[in-house]
Amino acid sequence: MNIYVGNLDFKVSDSELEEIFAAFGTVSSCKIIIDKYSNRSKGFGFVTMDNDDEASNAINELNGTSLKSRDIVVNEAKPRKTEY
């Protein structure tokens, strides 16, 4: 399952985010989105977990919790809309 994590502090790293989700199960990938012009975090990222039960548990437990003084938003990522 692909998980969206929003309202991240700009100083949170990929490894910190992965460590938080690893407490709930195996993390396949973890990526904080970086602005290509400023080279600074955009304040959100994505975590992929192969086991849907573990992912759902992580979403339920982590949504609204505080990470580096910010309440994070955690939910299932929606597929990108492609425009033609």
> What would the DSSP string read from start to end of the chain?
-EEEEES--TT--HHHHHHHHHTTS-EEEEEEEE-TTT-SEEEEEEEEES-HHHHHHHHHHHTT-EETTEE-EEEEPPPPPP--
Whether 42 is covered by a domain: the verdict is yes
User: What's the rounded Cα separation, in Å, for the pair 69 and 30?
Assistant: 21
What's the pTM? 0.91
Whether 83 is covered by a domain: the verdict is no
Whether 13 is covered by a domain: the verdict is yes
pLDDT (tens, 9 = 90+) of the chain, 84 residues, equals: 999 999 999 999 999 999 999 999 999 999 999 999 999 999 999 999 999 999 999 999 999 999 998 999 999 999 878 776
Whether 10 is covered by a domain: the verdict is yes
Whether 55 is covered by a domain: the verdict is yes
Domain count of the fold of the chain: 1
Determine whether 4 is exposed, middle or buried from the number of CB atoms within 10 Å of its CB (0-12, 13-18, 19+): middle
Domain of residue 17 covers 2-76
CATH number at residue 33: 3.30.70.330
Predicted pLDDT at 84: 66
Predicted pLDDT at 81: 80
Whether 53 is covered by a domain: the verdict is yes
What angle (nearest 5°) sits at the alpha carbon of residue 82, between those of residues 51 and 71?
Answer: 50
